[in-house]
Amino acid sequence: MITDKNLGIAIITKQWFIEGVESILNDPTQYESIPTEHCIDILKETIQEVRAIAEGLDSEGASEQLVKFLVNKCPAGGSEGLPSIPQFYVIPKIHKKLVKHWPIIPCHSSAQAPVAKYISKMLKPLVKCCKFMLHGTKHLA
């Protein structure tokens, strides 16, 4: 297995990896199991909210390209038209003492990803102007 930060290749046991994943997922302070129906309800609600944002921008005269971009991860149709649910996975952190497994949930294909990307782009100039906001460790130094 390739390690993070390009530290090379590490050999780990399958059991060590599985136990680490299970310890993360079984921690009730971090994760809660929800029924599939509830997950589908959340997805449907998210799609409705994203579509409402796009429709609001459309009614204010935003470009057609922007409106289409914002809803491009929101399929039309019933539950078979729902976007895929992001899949949880773990990166082993063999060089760490306390946190040996780093949980990852990729949301690049989620329904709200285009809206988040757009908002982030719009906020960048405002954030840059804020003298009281840190922009990284170099800025802190």
What are φ and ψ of residue 8, in 5° steps? Answer: 120, -160
- Give tens-digit pLDDT for 57-94: 888 888 889 999 998 888 776 556 677 777 888 887 77
> What are the residue ranges spanned by the domains of the chain?
4-140
pLDDT band (50, 70, 90) for residue 2: low
* pLDDT tops 80 at residue 98: no
Burial call 68-97: b when 16+ CB within 10 Å, e when fewer: eebbebbeeeeeeebbeeeeeebebbeeee
The angle subtended at Cα 103 by Cα 112 and Cα 91, nearest 5°, is 120
- Confidence (pLDDT) at 69: 92
Amino acid at 39: C
Beta partners for 90? 103
Q: 79 is written with which tokens?
A: 């539950």
- Give tens-digit pLDDT for 19-61: 888 988 898 998 888 898 898 888 889 888 999 999 998 888 8
Contacts of 26 (CB under 8 A, 6+ apart): none
State whether residue 63 is helix, strand or coil: coil
